[in-house]
Amino acid sequence: MNERVRIALDVMGGDFAPHEVIKGAVFAKKENSAIDIVLVGDKSSIEKHLSSFGEKDSFSVEHSSEVITMDDSPVSSVKRKKDSSIVKGVSLVRERKVEAFVSAGNTGAVVSASILYLGLLEGVQRPGIAIIIPTLTGSSLLIDVGANINPRPIHLLQYAIMAETYFRLILEKSNVKVGLLNIGEEETKGTDFMKECYKLLEASTLNFRGNIEPKDIFSGKCDVIICDGIVGNVALKVSEGLVETAGLFFNNILNSSMLAKAGALLLKPYLKKFSRMMDYAEYGGAPLLGVDGIVVIAHGRSDARAIKNALKFAGEEVKRNLNQLILESVNA
Protein backbone atom coordinates (compact mmCIF):
# COMPACT_ATOMS: atom_id res chain seq x y z
CA MET A 1 0.00 0.00 0.00
CA ASN A 2 1.34 3.36 -0.87
CA GLU A 3 -1.38 5.68 0.41
CA ARG A 4 -0.04 8.56 2.42
CA VAL A 5 -0.74 8.70 6.15
CA ARG A 6 -0.47 11.88 8.18
CA ILE A 7 0.41 11.49 11.87
CA ALA A 8 0.98 14.06 14.63
CA LEU A 9 3.75 13.25 17.10
CA ASP A 10 4.03 14.73 20.60
CA VAL A 11 7.65 15.81 20.71
CA MET A 12 7.50 16.95 24.34
CA GLY A 13 6.28 13.66 25.84
CA GLY A 14 8.37 10.88 27.34
CA ASP A 15 11.47 10.52 29.48
CA PHE A 16 13.83 11.05 26.54
CA ALA A 17 11.94 13.85 24.83
CA PRO A 18 12.51 15.66 22.63
CA HIS A 19 15.73 14.06 21.35
CA GLU A 20 14.69 10.39 21.12
CA VAL A 21 11.20 11.28 19.97
CA ILE A 22 12.44 13.35 17.05
CA LYS A 23 15.01 10.67 16.24
CA GLY A 24 12.15 8.16 16.20
CA ALA A 25 10.32 10.33 13.69
CA VAL A 26 13.44 10.40 11.51
CA PHE A 27 13.67 6.59 11.69
CA ALA A 28 9.99 6.18 10.82
CA LYS A 29 10.28 8.50 7.85
CA LYS A 30 13.34 6.61 6.57
CA GLU A 31 11.55 3.28 6.92
CA ASN A 32 8.39 4.45 5.23
CA SER A 33 8.41 7.69 3.29
CA ALA A 34 4.63 7.50 2.85
CA ILE A 35 4.21 8.65 6.49
CA ASP A 36 3.94 12.40 6.85
CA ILE A 37 4.80 13.37 10.39
CA VAL A 38 3.75 16.58 12.09
CA LEU A 39 6.03 17.30 15.01
CA VAL A 40 4.10 19.02 17.81
CA GLY A 41 6.06 20.94 20.42
CA ASP A 42 8.46 23.79 20.99
CA LYS A 43 9.35 24.99 17.51
CA SER A 44 12.86 26.23 18.14
CA SER A 45 13.82 23.07 19.97
CA ILE A 46 12.39 20.92 17.18
CA GLU A 47 14.26 22.87 14.51
CA LYS A 48 17.50 22.62 16.43
CA HIS A 49 17.16 18.84 16.71
CA LEU A 50 16.12 18.41 13.09
CA SER A 51 19.16 20.37 11.99
CA SER A 52 21.42 18.14 14.04
CA PHE A 53 19.92 15.12 12.27
CA GLY A 54 20.28 16.89 8.90
CA GLU A 55 16.53 16.51 8.39
CA LYS A 56 15.27 20.06 8.25
CA ASP A 57 12.72 19.69 5.49
CA SER A 58 11.19 16.25 5.94
CA PHE A 59 8.72 17.23 8.66
CA SER A 60 5.97 19.71 9.35
CA VAL A 61 6.13 21.48 12.68
CA GLU A 62 3.21 22.62 14.83
CA HIS A 63 4.38 24.92 17.58
CA SER A 64 3.02 24.54 21.10
CA SER A 65 4.13 26.73 23.97
CA GLU A 66 3.03 24.57 26.92
CA VAL A 67 3.99 21.16 28.25
CA ILE A 68 1.88 18.80 30.34
CA THR A 69 4.33 17.09 32.67
CA MET A 70 4.08 13.61 34.16
CA ASP A 71 3.05 15.15 37.49
CA ASP A 72 0.23 17.26 36.09
CA SER A 73 -3.29 16.19 36.96
CA PRO A 74 -4.72 14.71 33.74
CA VAL A 75 -8.20 16.19 33.72
CA SER A 76 -7.38 19.71 34.88
CA SER A 77 -4.18 20.06 32.85
CA VAL A 78 -5.85 19.33 29.51
CA LYS A 79 -8.44 22.00 30.28
CA ARG A 80 -5.85 24.49 31.51
CA LYS A 81 -2.97 23.94 29.11
CA LYS A 82 -4.74 24.43 25.82
CA ASP A 83 -1.47 25.16 24.04
CA SER A 84 0.24 22.00 25.23
CA SER A 85 1.61 19.47 22.75
CA ILE A 86 -0.95 16.89 23.92
CA VAL A 87 -4.02 19.10 23.47
CA LYS A 88 -2.57 20.47 20.22
CA GLY A 89 -1.90 16.99 18.83
CA VAL A 90 -5.35 15.70 19.72
CA SER A 91 -6.89 18.83 18.21
CA LEU A 92 -5.07 18.20 14.93
CA VAL A 93 -6.85 14.84 14.80
CA ARG A 94 -10.19 16.44 15.56
CA GLU A 95 -9.68 19.04 12.83
CA ARG A 96 -8.80 16.21 10.42
CA LYS A 97 -5.43 17.83 9.76
CA VAL A 98 -3.82 14.51 10.69
CA GLU A 99 -5.24 11.01 10.86
CA ALA A 100 -3.56 9.90 14.08
CA PHE A 101 -1.72 11.15 17.16
CA VAL A 102 1.17 9.46 18.96
CA SER A 103 2.35 10.52 22.43
CA ALA A 104 4.74 9.15 25.05
CA GLY A 105 3.62 11.85 27.47
CA ASN A 106 1.33 11.79 30.53
CA THR A 107 -0.99 8.85 29.77
CA GLY A 108 -3.88 10.16 31.83
CA ALA A 109 -3.68 13.50 30.04
CA VAL A 110 -3.67 11.85 26.61
CA VAL A 111 -6.75 9.85 27.61
CA SER A 112 -8.52 12.91 29.05
CA ALA A 113 -7.67 15.10 26.06
CA SER A 114 -8.89 12.40 23.69
CA ILE A 115 -12.22 12.03 25.51
CA LEU A 116 -12.65 15.80 25.81
CA TYR A 117 -11.60 16.91 22.33
CA LEU A 118 -12.27 13.87 20.15
CA GLY A 119 -15.19 12.31 21.95
CA LEU A 120 -16.04 8.64 21.94
CA LEU A 121 -17.10 6.48 19.03
CA GLU A 122 -20.87 6.20 18.87
CA GLY A 123 -22.04 3.49 21.27
CA VAL A 124 -18.78 3.30 23.21
CA GLN A 125 -19.14 4.27 26.87
CA ARG A 126 -15.47 4.40 27.92
CA PRO A 127 -12.14 4.16 26.12
CA GLY A 128 -9.57 1.55 27.10
CA ILE A 129 -5.84 1.24 26.61
CA ALA A 130 -4.84 -2.03 25.01
CA ILE A 131 -1.31 -3.32 25.18
CA ILE A 132 0.29 -6.04 23.12
CA ILE A 133 2.03 -8.53 25.40
CA PRO A 134 4.48 -11.18 24.26
CA THR A 135 3.60 -14.84 24.72
CA LEU A 136 5.36 -18.09 23.98
CA THR A 137 3.25 -18.51 20.87
CA GLY A 138 2.95 -14.94 19.62
CA SER A 139 1.11 -11.98 21.06
CA SER A 140 -1.90 -11.31 23.23
CA LEU A 141 -3.76 -8.08 23.86
CA LEU A 142 -4.37 -6.92 27.44
CA ILE A 143 -7.07 -4.26 27.95
CA ASP A 144 -7.53 -2.02 29.97
CA VAL A 145 -4.14 -1.11 31.39
CA GLY A 146 -5.15 2.16 32.97
CA ALA A 147 -7.55 4.39 31.05
CA ASN A 148 -10.47 3.63 33.33
CA ILE A 149 -9.93 2.69 36.97
CA ASN A 150 -13.61 2.60 37.96
CA PRO A 151 -15.24 0.66 35.13
CA ARG A 152 -18.67 -0.91 35.01
CA PRO A 153 -19.10 -4.44 33.59
CA ILE A 154 -20.51 -3.09 30.31
CA HIS A 155 -17.23 -1.22 29.78
CA LEU A 156 -15.30 -4.46 29.98
CA LEU A 157 -17.64 -6.10 27.49
CA GLN A 158 -17.01 -3.21 25.14
CA TYR A 159 -13.25 -3.53 25.66
CA ALA A 160 -13.57 -7.15 24.62
CA ILE A 161 -15.46 -6.25 21.47
CA MET A 162 -13.03 -3.50 20.52
CA ALA A 163 -9.97 -5.60 21.27
CA GLU A 164 -11.35 -8.53 19.30
CA THR A 165 -11.73 -6.20 16.34
CA TYR A 166 -8.21 -4.88 16.81
CA PHE A 167 -6.78 -8.35 17.02
CA ARG A 168 -8.54 -9.48 13.87
CA LEU A 169 -7.68 -6.41 11.87
CA ILE A 170 -4.23 -5.31 13.00
CA LEU A 171 -2.75 -8.53 14.36
CA GLU A 172 -4.46 -10.53 11.60
CA LYS A 173 -5.88 -13.44 13.52
CA SER A 174 -9.33 -14.93 13.27
CA ASN A 175 -11.37 -16.81 15.87
CA VAL A 176 -9.98 -14.59 18.61
CA LYS A 177 -10.10 -16.20 22.06
CA VAL A 178 -11.25 -13.82 24.80
CA GLY A 179 -10.51 -14.33 28.51
CA LEU A 180 -11.39 -12.43 31.67
CA LEU A 181 -8.43 -11.86 33.98
CA ASN A 182 -9.44 -13.24 37.36
CA ILE A 183 -7.88 -14.78 40.46
CA GLY A 184 -9.23 -18.23 39.62
CA GLU A 185 -10.56 -20.13 36.65
CA GLU A 186 -13.96 -21.00 38.05
CA GLU A 187 -16.95 -18.86 37.14
CA THR A 188 -17.60 -18.19 40.83
CA LYS A 189 -14.20 -16.61 41.48
CA GLY A 190 -13.45 -12.97 42.10
CA THR A 191 -15.43 -9.93 43.11
CA ASP A 192 -19.08 -9.32 42.28
CA PHE A 193 -17.83 -6.99 39.56
CA MET A 194 -15.84 -9.81 37.97
CA LYS A 195 -18.76 -12.21 38.18
CA GLU A 196 -20.98 -9.70 36.39
CA CYS A 197 -18.35 -9.21 33.70
CA TYR A 198 -18.18 -12.98 33.29
CA LYS A 199 -21.93 -13.17 32.71
CA LEU A 200 -21.91 -10.39 30.14
CA LEU A 201 -19.00 -11.90 28.24
CA GLU A 202 -20.57 -15.34 28.33
CA ALA A 203 -23.83 -14.01 26.93
CA SER A 204 -22.04 -12.22 24.08
CA THR A 205 -21.24 -13.61 20.63
CA LEU A 206 -17.52 -13.41 21.41
CA ASN A 207 -15.41 -16.56 21.60
CA PHE A 208 -15.27 -16.26 25.41
CA ARG A 209 -13.05 -18.83 27.10
CA GLY A 210 -13.88 -17.95 30.69
CA ASN A 211 -11.51 -16.68 33.34
CA ILE A 212 -7.79 -16.61 32.77
CA GLU A 213 -5.46 -16.55 35.77
CA PRO A 214 -2.67 -13.98 36.05
CA LYS A 215 0.01 -16.65 35.81
CA ASP A 216 -1.29 -17.58 32.35
CA ILE A 217 -1.27 -14.20 30.64
CA PHE A 218 2.02 -14.99 28.89
CA SER A 219 0.95 -18.50 27.93
CA GLY A 220 -0.96 -17.60 24.79
CA LYS A 221 -4.09 -19.34 26.14
CA CYS A 222 -6.16 -16.28 25.24
CA ASP A 223 -5.64 -13.71 22.51
CA VAL A 224 -7.52 -10.95 24.25
CA ILE A 225 -7.42 -10.55 28.03
CA ILE A 226 -9.92 -8.22 29.66
CA CYS A 227 -9.63 -6.50 33.04
CA ASP A 228 -10.23 -3.24 34.85
CA GLY A 229 -7.63 -0.48 34.57
CA ILE A 230 -6.11 -1.07 38.01
CA VAL A 231 -5.61 -4.80 37.58
CA GLY A 232 -4.31 -4.32 34.02
CA ASN A 233 -1.89 -1.62 35.07
CA VAL A 234 -0.59 -3.74 37.94
CA ALA A 235 -0.18 -6.80 35.70
CA LEU A 236 1.71 -4.79 33.10
CA LYS A 237 3.92 -2.83 35.45
CA VAL A 238 4.80 -5.76 37.69
CA SER A 239 5.99 -7.62 34.59
CA GLU A 240 8.11 -4.68 33.52
CA GLY A 241 9.57 -4.36 36.99
CA LEU A 242 10.45 -8.02 37.12
CA VAL A 243 12.18 -7.98 33.74
CA GLU A 244 14.09 -4.89 34.82
CA THR A 245 15.11 -6.48 38.13
CA ALA A 246 16.31 -9.61 36.34
CA GLY A 247 18.33 -7.40 33.99
CA LEU A 248 20.00 -5.60 36.91
CA PHE A 249 20.70 -8.91 38.61
CA PHE A 250 22.47 -10.34 35.57
CA ASN A 251 24.34 -7.13 34.85
CA ASN A 252 25.80 -7.26 38.33
CA ILE A 253 26.93 -10.80 37.70
CA LEU A 254 28.50 -10.08 34.35
CA ASN A 255 30.57 -7.37 35.93
CA SER A 256 31.80 -9.74 38.60
CA SER A 257 32.90 -12.89 36.78
CA MET A 258 34.88 -13.67 33.62
CA LEU A 259 33.31 -17.11 33.27
CA ALA A 260 29.82 -15.64 33.51
CA LYS A 261 30.83 -13.12 30.88
CA ALA A 262 31.92 -15.91 28.55
CA GLY A 263 28.68 -17.77 29.17
CA ALA A 264 26.64 -14.69 28.49
CA LEU A 265 28.53 -14.16 25.23
CA LEU A 266 27.51 -17.61 24.01
CA LEU A 267 23.92 -17.04 25.11
CA LYS A 268 23.81 -13.51 23.73
CA PRO A 269 21.64 -14.12 20.66
CA TYR A 270 19.07 -15.88 22.82
CA LEU A 271 19.17 -13.35 25.62
CA LYS A 272 18.64 -10.74 22.95
CA LYS A 273 15.71 -12.65 21.52
CA PHE A 274 14.16 -12.90 24.97
CA SER A 275 14.69 -9.30 25.88
CA ARG A 276 13.28 -8.32 22.49
CA MET A 277 10.29 -10.54 23.15
CA MET A 278 9.77 -8.77 26.48
CA ASP A 279 10.53 -5.33 25.12
CA TYR A 280 7.65 -2.90 24.85
CA ALA A 281 9.69 -1.01 22.24
CA GLU A 282 9.08 -3.81 19.75
CA TYR A 283 5.44 -2.77 19.61
CA GLY A 284 6.06 0.80 20.62
CA GLY A 285 2.54 1.90 21.21
CA ALA A 286 -0.67 1.01 22.92
CA PRO A 287 -3.85 1.91 21.06
CA LEU A 288 -6.42 3.95 22.96
CA LEU A 289 -9.54 2.13 21.79
CA GLY A 290 -12.97 3.75 21.72
CA VAL A 291 -12.17 7.39 20.99
CA ASP A 292 -13.26 9.02 17.75
CA GLY A 293 -9.81 9.24 16.21
CA ILE A 294 -6.63 7.19 16.16
CA VAL A 295 -4.56 7.78 19.29
CA VAL A 296 -1.53 5.68 20.19
CA ILE A 297 0.09 5.90 23.61
CA ALA A 298 3.79 5.18 23.68
CA HIS A 299 5.69 4.11 26.77
CA GLY A 300 7.11 6.91 28.91
CA ARG A 301 10.56 5.43 28.50
CA SER A 302 10.31 5.22 24.72
CA ASP A 303 13.54 5.41 22.80
CA ALA A 304 13.73 6.24 19.10
CA ARG A 305 12.95 2.66 18.06
CA ALA A 306 9.83 2.57 20.24
CA ILE A 307 8.62 5.86 18.78
CA LYS A 308 9.27 4.59 15.26
CA ASN A 309 7.24 1.46 15.96
CA ALA A 310 4.43 3.45 17.58
CA LEU A 311 4.21 5.60 14.44
CA LYS A 312 4.18 2.47 12.32
CA PHE A 313 1.33 0.97 14.35
CA ALA A 314 -0.64 4.19 14.21
CA GLY A 315 -0.22 4.14 10.42
CA GLU A 316 -1.57 0.58 10.27
CA GLU A 317 -4.64 1.57 12.27
CA VAL A 318 -5.34 4.46 9.91
CA LYS A 319 -4.82 2.46 6.73
CA ARG A 320 -7.00 -0.41 7.85
CA ASN A 321 -9.74 1.91 8.99
CA LEU A 322 -9.80 0.49 12.52
CA ASN A 323 -12.40 2.82 13.98
CA GLN A 324 -14.96 2.17 11.26
CA LEU A 325 -14.77 -1.51 12.11
CA ILE A 326 -14.94 -0.88 15.86
CA LEU A 327 -18.03 1.26 15.29
CA GLU A 328 -19.67 -1.61 13.44
CA SER A 329 -18.68 -4.22 16.04
CA VAL A 330 -19.79 -2.22 19.06
CA ASN A 331 -23.12 -1.36 17.49
CA ALA A 332 -23.78 -4.79 15.97
Binding site for its own copies (CB under 8 A): 71, 73, 135-136, 146, 149-150, 181, 183, 186, 188, 190-191, 213-219, 229-231, 233-246, 248-250, 253, 257, 259-260, 262-268, 270, 274, 277
| Nearer to its own copies among residue 51 and residue 245 (C-beta) | 245
Please work out, in degrees rounded to the nearest 5, the angle formed at the alpha carbon of residue 168 by the alpha carbons of 164 and 174. 100
Phi, psi for 41 (deg, rounded to 5): 160, -160
Compute the distance between CA of residue 223 and CA of residue 300 in angstroms, rounded to an integer.
25
> Which is nearer to its own copies, 34 or 262 (by Cβ)?
262
Minimal CA–CA distance to 327: which of 158, 167, 86?
A: 158
Q: What is the pairing mode between strands 224-226 and 177-181?
A: parallel
Least separation in angstroms between CB 76 and its own copies: 11
Minimal distance in Å, beta carbon 269 to its own copies? Answer: 8
Tell me the closest approach of the beta carbon of residue 128 to its own copies, in angstroms: 15
State which amino acid sits at residue 237.
K
Is the CB of 53 or the CB of 274 nearer to its own copies? 274
Q: How big is the CA angle at 98 (ends 95 and 101), to the nearest 5 degrees?
A: 105
Taking residue 325's Cβ as centre, other Cβ atoms within 10 Å add up to 16
CA dihedral 147, 152, 157, 161 (to 10 degrees): -30
Smallest distance, Å, CB 260 to its own copies?
Answer: 6
Within 13 Å of residue 272, how many CA atoms lie on the same side as its CB?
A: 5
Minimum separation from the CB atom of position 249 to its own copies (A): 6
Residue 262 beta carbon to its own copies: minimum distance, rounded to whole angstroms: 5
Q: How far apart are CA 118 and CA 114, in angstroms?
A: 5
Nearer residue to its own copies within complex by CB, 48 or 272: 272
Please say which residue, 175 or 188, places its beta carbon nearer to its own copies. 188
Nearer to its own copies, 71 or 95 (CB): 71
